[in-house]
Structures are given as C-alpha cells and as structure tokens.
Chains A and B, each alone.
Chain A
Amino acid sequence: MTGNAIVIGRGPAGLLGASLLRQRGYEVTVIADGQGTLAMWAGDFSFIRAPGAFETFPIQRSLTHWLGAFGDVVGLFANFGVALERFDEKVVARTVTATGNLRPTFLVPSWQYASLEPEDLIIVGVDGLADSIVEAQAANYRAQTGRQAIEVRLARPSGWDESWGAIRFASYLDTDAGLTWLRQELIKGLRSCPRDLAVIVPQIVGLERTTYLLGRLSEDAGRTVREFPLLSPSVGGVRIRDRWEQLLRRDGVHFISGHVVKVTPAATVTTADGRSFAGDYVLLATGGVLGGGARVTVDGAIIDELVNREIGQMHSINDLDRVGHDEIDCLGSGRVLAIGRALGGWNPNRDHNGGAMVVGSVRMALGMIEEDTRAAL
C-alpha cells in the first residue's frame, strides 16, 4: 500500500490524476461538487509543437516527458475501450470544426476526423440538429483551405421533435431505428458523390456503440466516415466520461459528492457539510475560472477559496486564461499539488496546448509524489 490520495475535481485532470494514482497503488478518493465537466470537452487532446512551444510552457520539461505522458493516456483509454490515435509531434494534425474551421490537434479518438493536410471532403448536414450549418461550414472550409467541400443534407428522422439536441440524436442512433435512418439517408445522399472522398458527420453517432456504427456506415458508404465535434454538451466528452468513471469505480476509486471549502498544507480537506478527509496527498484539480476553482470578484481580484489565497488580478479579459497557481506545489508543503487548469500561466485558447498541460502537469505531480514517498521511506 503506497498511501492515500484525495483528488478534488472531476474534470480531465482530476480523472487522469485519479487513474494514474490508482495504477500506482494509492487509495484514491475523488471529491467534487459536480458530476464532472468532461461533457464540455470535444474528446481530443491538443499539443502543438510550434517551434519552441514547450519552452514557453510554465512547467518546462523535455519532449520525452510530454510524449511519455501521452503514452500513459493512450494505454489508459484503451482500458475502457476508447482507441486514441496519435499523430507525429513533428507535424500539426488538424480536425474540422462545426463551423468549417481547422483546429490543431494531437491525440484523437478514433471516431473523430483529423488529417495532416486539408483534403477534399464530403460534409454531412442533419436537418433538425441546431449545430448543423452545413452550407456555412462548407463555404468556410473552402475559403480556409482552397479544397472542395461537397454538402450532403440528411432529412430529419421520424419521431424527431424540436427538443432533440446532439445527445438525443446520439441515443437514437444507439437504437436499430436510428441506425436504419442514418444508413438510408447517408446512402441516398452519397449516391452522386465522388467515391474516394472522406465523409464527416456531426458528432451524433451513438453513445454506446459508436465504433460499430461508424464501421457499418463506412462499409455501406464505401468511404471513411468520421465525426466532427459539436459544442457543449459534447457527445464525445460524454462517451469518454461515462466509460472512464465506470472504470475508476470498478478499480475501487471512491467518488464523494461534496463542496470542498478548505484544503490545508497538511493535506486535510473539509467540505461544506462538515465532513473531513485526510490524505497523504491532495491533487487540486479544481480548474481555473471556468472550472470554478478560481473566483473573480467585482473588483477583479481572483481568489482560490479552497486554499484561501488570492492568485491574481484580472486586468483584462484575456487574463482569465492565465489565472491559476504559479507552482504545482501550490502550498509549499509538497503535499497539495495543483494540476490541470488550477495551474496558471498557459492559454489553451491561444496556444492549443490544453491536452499537453493536463497530461504534463499530472505526470509531473505524480513524479513529485513518488519522489516524496521514496524520500520518506
């Protein structure tokens, strides 16, 4: 038995921290006052090897370190049935968004479309899906890439009603009626299209059996069919969250619902309803401003209320993304470690390095814990 760890927060950093700690034999308790924010996330990891990019990351490590961390993630996701495809770090792979823009990416679930070079595409629109704006998406894609984008529109399924968002479409596609609808519409729509182009569809292809569905569709269509992600709530994020958390529970990670109000350097945690937890280590994965770990006051002070510390001042709106603790060892005791967005100084919106920072910071924190544990022995 290696020890006892508490993870505060149930987003990507929190779950990754919990997974890796559990793998190393720690007793892990995840305390969060929500049910996780993975549903806001498209499902792919970004890590952009712009020249010198990793030198500007606030926690500077070697490339090997980052890539090793990504390797951990690929193995972990395989455990709960999500295949991640990794691109070469020397080039920038891009995924296509719902508005036809290209976004850089690095580690992509097998259901999501990504390519190294922009190519001619068939873009599928679904009537009745609010986020599906195929005409604008295709026009924008053409303008950005100079490539061809053929638009195919699918009629809405019977039984549709106006409350159908992406999650509902995805649930529908897990049924036989849903698969029939999509197959028929897709075959019809692709009939007059060139044979050798990739097909991208909005991310609605099931919650439970996506790989199977995409396989069937690709077979029928005689072309590769992949998804492009939509906005929150993201079906891709939901697929990963549900499977990941199941795996964690099966492996014996305890999930506690509670609003943490205090964390001490001695690694004790107190919740609003008076419960106390003591651990050997606490991973602070509470997110920045978006995640709720940092609160902005009217006069612009930014406060981490769990550790009762002002962690910054907001002078401009772009500061929001830099907000967070300066060091992983945020309280100086070596036992309370900030990971993910709780760690400040980086901006995934500008630098497209969110995935890298999450995996990198978690791996660093775990390294610090292992060293600390060894030193104590």
Chain B
Amino acid sequence: MKVVVIGAGATGLGVAWDLTLRGIEVVVVEANEIGSGTSGRFHGLLHSGGRYLVTDPNAAKECYLENQLLRQLAPDAVVPTGGYFVKKYGDDDGFEQRWLDQADEIEVPIHAADLKELRQELPMLAPDIERAYWVPDGVLEGFKMLATLVDALESRGSSLRDHTRAIGLRVVGGRVTGVKVEGRGGSQVLDCDAVVNTAGPWAGLVARDWGLDIKVQPSYGLMLIFANRRLDVVVNRLKSPSDGDIFVPHQEVVILGTTDVAQPEPEAPEPDRSEAIRLMGLGRELIPDLEHWRVLRGFNGVRPLYEPSGLTGDSRTVSRDFAVLDHGDSDGLAGAFSVLGGKWTTFRLMGEALGDQLVKTMQVDAPSQSRLTPIRGKQATASHRRDPQERGALLCECEQVYEADLGSATGSQTQERFATWFSMGPCQGTFCAHRVLGRRSPASFAEELLALRREREHGLDVVGWGTNARLIALEQASATQALGEELR
C-alpha cells in the first residue's frame, strides 16, 4: 500500500510516521523545504495543557498525554524544563479557581510554587505576583524533531521529496490513483492508493485543487526572540489565554509570544513594528525590565486553524483541536484525506487519528505503533566535539560553526542555517554570512549573500531598538563599507 502525504510539516511527518510504522510506504511531497510553513515558525512550547484547562479541556487533556509520551519517544528533541503559571494581583480569582478545578478534573499534575523560591529562580519577574503554580510544560525543538522524523521515516523505507509541489490528482472512477507533482525533474504522476492533505495553512488551496472547499482560517502571531537564555523555564500568565503571555526558553534564546490576527493568506506576513511594540508592552507585565533585554529578531507564524462550520470570529475561540476528514465519505473522492488544525504538541496524535481512519477506510488491518515506537533513525548524532585541528577556521563565532561543519553544498542555505544555526545568533549574519556562503557556493555567492541579508533583515528591522539598533547599524556599515555591497 502506498500513500502520498502533501506537506512536510509536523502534521505531514507525524502522519507519515504513523503510516510507515503500520507497514505502509509513504512519499511525502513538500513544495518548499521541511519546516518552511507553520512548523518552522514555532514558539517551541510543549504544552502541559495548562493553557487550555479552562477554555478547551479536550485539547488540554490531549496535550498533557502527548507531552508525557513525547518525552519518552523523542527525548533528544524535547527539553523537560517545567513551567510556571503566575497570577498577578488583579488577575481574575474566579479564573484561577476554575483552572485549579480543571487541573484536578483532567489530572494534569500541578502544584503551588513557593513565592520566595520563585523569586530566587526568576528574579526578573514583576513584583506583584500573588500566586504561582508549577506545570509540566516543556520545550519542543522543532527543527530537531522534524529532522529526526525524516531520518526515522527514511530508515524504514518511506521517503521525502522536497521542492516538489502537488498540483492535482489522478482520479479513476471516483477513486484516487495518483498525485500529479511538479518538481526539479519536471512533472510526473506518483502512483498511490491514497493521498493525505496536511498542508497546514495551504490546506485550503490543496483542497481547491481537488475540487473541494475546506474552510481553513489562518491567523498569524508575532513572536520576539531575545538573545540570551535568561530564563530556564516556561513562564505563563494565569488568566484567560491572550496575547503576549508566554515566555519559552529555546536553546540559547527566549521567545515571547504571541498575538493573533486573522488573515486569509497562508504565508506569514512581514512583522510589523507597532505590533512588536505592543507585544513588548504585554511582555513587560510579567518582566518589567524587558526593554533592557537584548532582542534579536521578530517573526510571524501562521496558525492553520480550522472551523468546520466556517464561522469567522475571534480566532482564539476557534478550537485548537484537530480534524480528520475522509473525503471518500463526505465528498465522493475515495482515497483522499485531510488533516486540519492541531498544534505541534499533538502531531503524533494527529498522525495516529489519520492512520486509524485511513486503514479503516482502506480496509487494511494494521494498528498504530506510534504510541510505542521511539522516533529514531539510523544516523548517529553528529559529534560536535571534533579534534580542534580538524575543524578548520571558526566561521560563525556566535553559534560555533567551523569549516568542517558545513554540510553538502547541494542543500539550500536555509537547510544549512537550520542544521548549524549560522547567522541565527547575536550577530545575525553580520560577520559569518560571507564566510559561510563564500565557502558553500562561490559561483553564486553574490546572489546567495543578498538573499541571506534580505532574509535576516525581515526580522531585524521590526525590533530595531536599544542594542539591536546598534547591531543593525553595524551590519549595514559592515556590509556596505567593509564589503562594498549596495545599501538595500
């Protein structure tokens, strides 16, 4: 049995993983590169469920169970930092009570935090904290998880084809028999028994190619990245979920999120400075000194929300739960499925739910294994502690990238960035961009460098204050005066 999955984000790879474990061969086609959609623009929170206890208890329960599961299944991509929900004087006591009751009801383990110890651990918190609770929040390292999933799939016989866009279906007698794709090698048709649409914010467009109408309602949210890991735990506000109320530590940075603005387009818009200013103001409610934190950049992520009845409204009330659609059932297109909505934390569960539906419909006897199987491929984790004499010159000093760490020249610069993190640190490529790109692609160097500079600017300009404004000034002076580039 062969299935084509459209979209190599968390949902697509989660689906592919679950199906592969059932013995089904999967080809994932991705128009761009893994993680170039929602999954690559994440906050990084491995939800304990705490955020949804009151507003969406189903989602909360799912999150908690998956949270615990993923810690076992993918320990290399999950950091069990723990988190706090902090209530300030003036926040609704009624909400707090309901929150506590729900935690009890759904059995999410939380416990009250000692305020004095909390101050020791997090001295930067606002002085007017009334109470705080510890929750089992964690951090999910998105790119690592995606890469691990791809590796795990490929080691079991499934495959990924990136830069390959699905453009339509081959349907015979109301049944899907193949997927038309367009890619580097030209166009072709991939034979398959079923196709699954997991294109996230683009799911509506994919469905349109199939002649179907799915009401995907994207909304985007701004996140700000702070340069240093000044806190080691997740910090949430204990009140009705709103904007700018979560801080998540992620490797060397801290990410503050987020906002919520509905928009019809699936692409993330350019971040907006007034939104950044507003987000800073919200963040200051928890951390008053936030203006003195070194900010690195801002970016928008697009939520692939799905509301079955197609109602528009405040996107925060649209359920974060997910949906599995069997188009054979509802639309007379047998063998076509869509998985919509959801969040990073529940990607595995979404894969399992789709898998269950698919094997039932296709009448295959293959139960899900993903609950029990660790997500691991064949590749040994690359050791970074190589012999110093072998590493070559140090190219990116912020993120310790040496000449020997550069991957194959055929991967894109984006892939190189996500693999090594070069240009993602405090200099945002000012010093390392030409060093890395000059070695990777000497022939197309000028275009590659310009592309990277543009890409880095998207997120820098929106947070151009304080020390970051000085970095931007240095970056411009460096590029134009030292390296002779044109001012953009």
**What distance in Å separates the Cβ of B406 from its nearest Cβ neighbour in chain A?**
12
State whether B434 touches A98 (Cβ < 8 A). Answer: yes
Question: Complex: how many Å from CA A323 to CA B438?
Answer: 33
Residues of chain B within 8 A of A133, CB atoms compared: 434-435, 438-439, 442, 445
B393 at the interface (CB under 8 A from A): yes
B59 at the interface (CB under 8 A from A): no
Question: Complex: how many Å from CA A135 to CA B445?
Answer: 9
Contacts of A138-161 to chain B: CB distance below 8 A: 139-140, 143, 161
B380 at the interface (CB under 8 A from A): no
State whether A42 touches B481 (Cβ < 8 A). Answer: yes
State whether A102 touches B484 (Cβ < 8 A). Answer: yes
State whether A290 touches B434 (Cβ < 8 A). Answer: no
Contact with B along A314-355 (1 / 0, CB 8 A): 101110110000000000000000000000000111101010
The residue of chain B having its C-beta at the shortest distance from the C-beta of A295 within the complex is B466
Contact with A along B407-444 (1 / 0, CB 8 A): 00000000000000000000000010011011101110
State whether B280 touches A320 (Cβ < 8 A). Answer: no
Which stretch (A192-200, A230-238, A248-256, A269-277) binds chain B?
A230-238
**What distance in Å separates the Cβ of A128 from its nearest Cβ neighbour in chain B?**
5
**What distance in Å separates the Cβ of B378 from its nearest Cβ neighbour in chain A?**
30
State whether A350 touches B480 (Cβ < 8 A). Answer: yes
Which stretch (A55-63, A74-82, A297-305) binds chain B?
A297-305
Question: Complex: how many Å from CA A103 to CA B485?
Answer: 8
Contact of B478 among A102, A231, A354 (CB under 8 A): A231
B366 at the interface (CB under 8 A from A): no
State whether B484 touches A42 (Cβ < 8 A). Answer: no
State whether A99 touches B483 (Cβ < 8 A). Answer: yes
State whether A130 touches B393 (Cβ < 8 A). Answer: yes
The residue of chain B having its C-beta at the shortest distance from the C-beta of A348 within the complex is B481
Question: Complex: how many Å from CA A129 to CA B485?
Answer: 21
Contacts of B455-488 to chain A: CB distance below 8 A: 457, 460-461, 464-466, 469-470, 472-474, 476-478, 480-485, 487
Question: Complex: how many Å from CA A161 to CA B391?
Answer: 10
B264 at the interface (CB under 8 A from A): no
State whether A131 touches B435 (Cβ < 8 A). Answer: yes
**What distance in Å separates the Cβ of B453 from its nearest Cβ neighbour in chain A?**
12
**What distance in Å separates the Cβ of B464 from its nearest Cβ neighbour in chain A?**
6
State whether A103 touches B435 (Cβ < 8 A). Answer: no
A103, A295, A318, A349: which has the most chain B beta carbons within 10 Å? A349
State whether B431 touches A231 (Cβ < 8 A). Answer: yes
- Whether A292 touches B484, Cβ cut-off 8 Å, given contacts A99-B434, A316-B461, A317-B457, is no
Main secondary structure of the interface of A (DSSP, over half): loop
Question: Complex: how many Å from CA A232 to CA B470?
Answer: 14
State whether A320 touches B472 (Cβ < 8 A). Answer: yes
State whether B470 touches A128 (Cβ < 8 A). Answer: no
Question: Complex: how many Å from CA A298 to CA B477?
Answer: 22
B85 at the interface (CB under 8 A from A): no
State whether A317 touches B464 (Cβ < 8 A). Answer: yes
B212 at the interface (CB under 8 A from A): no
**What distance in Å separates the Cβ of B356 from its nearest Cβ neighbour in chain A?**
49
The contact size tier of chain B is 35 or more
State whether A98 touches B482 (Cβ < 8 A). Answer: yes
Residues of chain B within 8 A of A290, CB atoms compared: 470, 473-474, 477
State whether A320 touches B445 (Cβ < 8 A). Answer: no
State whether A348 touches B394 (Cβ < 8 A). Answer: no
Contact with A along B275-300 (1 / 0, CB 8 A): 00100100000000001000000000
**What distance in Å separates the Cβ of B401 from its nearest Cβ neighbour in chain A?**
10
A101 at the interface (CB under 8 A from B): yes
- Whether A128 touches B392, Cβ cut-off 8 Å, given contacts A99-B438, A298-B465, A314-B464, is yes
Residues of chain B within 8 A of A99, CB atoms compared: 434, 438, 445-446, 449, 483-485
State whether A320 touches B442 (Cβ < 8 A). Answer: no
Contact with B along A73-101 (1 / 0, CB 8 A): 00000000000000000000000011101
A368 at the interface (CB under 8 A from B): no
State whether B395 touches A320 (Cβ < 8 A). Answer: no
Residues of chain A within 8 A of B273, CB atoms compared: 300
- Whether A97 touches B476, Cβ cut-off 8 Å, given contacts A162-B388, A231-B431, is no
A289 at the interface (CB under 8 A from B): yes
Contact of B461 among A103, A127, A317, A321 (CB under 8 A): A317
Contact of A321 among B394, B465, B476, B478 (CB under 8 A): B476
A109 at the interface (CB under 8 A from B): no
Contact of B482 among A42, A162, A350 (CB under 8 A): A42
Residues of chain B within 8 A of A318, CB atoms compared: 487
State whether B472 touches A317 (Cβ < 8 A). Answer: yes
Question: Complex: how many Å from CA A133 to CA B434?
Answer: 8
State whether B482 touches A139 (Cβ < 8 A). Answer: no
State whether A289 touches B470 (Cβ < 8 A). Answer: yes
- Whether A136 touches B442, Cβ cut-off 8 Å, given contacts A97-B483, A162-B391, A320-B472, is yes
Question: Complex: how many Å from CA A99 to CA B439?
Answer: 11
State whether B445 touches A231 (Cβ < 8 A). Answer: no
B344 at the interface (CB under 8 A from A): no
Contacts of B264-280 to chain A: CB distance below 8 A: 273, 277, 280
> What are 17 of the A-B contact pairs (CB < 8 Å)?
A40-B474, A42-B482, A99-B446, A103-B484, A129-B393, A133-B442, A136-B437, A139-B445, A231-B431, A232-B478, A289-B473, A290-B470, A300-B273, A321-B473, A349-B477, A350-B480, A350-B487
Residues of A within 8 A of B (CB): 40, 42, 46, 97-99, 101-103, 127-131, 133, 135-137, 139-140, 143, 161-164, 229-232, 234, 288-290, 292, 295-300, 314, 316-318, 320-321, 347-350, 352, 354
In the complex, given contacts A130-B395, A133-B435, A347-B487, what are 15 additional A-B residue pairs having Cβ atoms less than 8 angstroms apart? A98-B434, A98-B482, A99-B434, A99-B438, A99-B485, A133-B438, A135-B442, A136-B438, A139-B443, A140-B445, A231-B483, A297-B466, A299-B277, A348-B481, A349-B481
